[in-house]
Structure 1
Amino acid sequence: MIEHLIYYQFGFFAPNTHLQPKPDIIGRLLEAFKDKGFIPTTAQELQQIGPAIKTGLQLQFTSPNREWNLAFEPHRALLKKENVGGTGMGSPEDFCEEANEIFDRLLKVNPFTGTRLSYATKGLLPELNPAKLDEVNKRILNLLPFYTKYPPYQWTTRNVARFDVHLGEMTESLNVITDINRVQGTIARDVGPLSFDRIEIGFDINTYQENTTPRFTTNHVGLFLQEAIKQSQNVMVEIESKLNE
């Protein structure tokens, strides 16, 4: 079970998502999101155009506490919810509902047709004692004799699978990427930073990158997120079962 969520993220890929930070578009988006309290801002970005690198400004909308951020990147509108100061993040279903609502409003203002959808999340499992942390690696990997003798204190694993799912009337190839890592770091909290040595779980679930046909509309956002959350939860159950053997 994830104890500390680091972020949720949803990406809507489309050719024309790179909105310019101009008064007319900012005004329309402010009106669409007026109950969200979003603040328009910009970030500098670098773009490779042939052999040249061009600098520009990227339009973003951010909540006052910086928990939510909606960025209009080249070829992708990216919504991210980050854990700010150790506050509660809500459930994946809560994020799905909010993302669906935000993109429903966004696509009414700017009717992008998407070529790809993605969902990602990352979090930390509850604290384990050092002996149990060493056991986790042995349970999910067939270690070399050297690392059986000298257990690694940092490690990463990544598994990628692809299979077909139904999103409404469409059949889509879905990539399911799972990262299981042992990491050390610091968690920012209102009461002060907390050092940790824990198992980190990350999911990146997205539609097949080679299919660049414009086909996704607002109707597919909720369907995709529900499928992505279901698949991540299925894998999470198997991870927990493996760790509890």
Structure 2
Amino acid sequence: MLHRCCLTALLICGSLTLASAATISLGQPGTLPAGFQFWHGNKADSAPWSVVRDSAADHGVALEYSATDKRGDAFIAFDPSARAADLKARVQFRLIRGRLPSGGLVLRMTSPDDYDLIKVSAYEERLSVIHVINGQPNEIAGVDAEIAKDDWQTLEVDMRGSEFRISLDGRWVLTAFDRSAVREGHVGVWSENDNVTRFGGLQVTAHDDGQHADSGADQTRGERR
């Protein structure tokens, strides 16, 4: 019996273009999720991506990135129908192998070269908030964290205005502020280099209460796990 997995988007009014309680299906192993777009730098490239079986993932399957590229270029997968500025997002990730095993959650993406990234690195044992502009990454904040290799973990972020509140495996690890302009954008997943990275259980909820953090703040807070 073939399993079928969903990236569940709990979308509530606000800036999201998806209907309320929409569900994004990953489909069946050996395929690509219907409607997704896949980018390598500023070029469309779905070659490294596929849906695979993984009994430890939500619903038994995951979206896998697997490549041999060692140049450090970013690869992004996203559903173009989901857009938001203020939101909560949750994703499972598994950093299986690679020279520098890493993965991440893409937020507020306006183009393949412009987005916010919550990056997790097993090599550095670090979680970072990165603002990418014209393809150039700038780390806003980061914290040492227990990022495992070849084990499922859960990353959560709550974004309101300039504020990012981030949790790992149900435990708060970092609050950071981005002083750049708040913008609506897509939500997706990210990997790089010669990694093998799996993602599952992506949930997105748009905030519609109009409450924002102080955009003038630039402080960060975090803890070593």
| TM-score, length-scaled by structure 1 | 0.26
* Structure with more helix by fraction: 1
* Structure with more strand by fraction: 2
- Structure number with greater CO (CA < 8 Å, separation at least 6) is 2
Rg larger in 1 or in 2? 1
| TM-score, length-scaled by structure 2 | 0.28
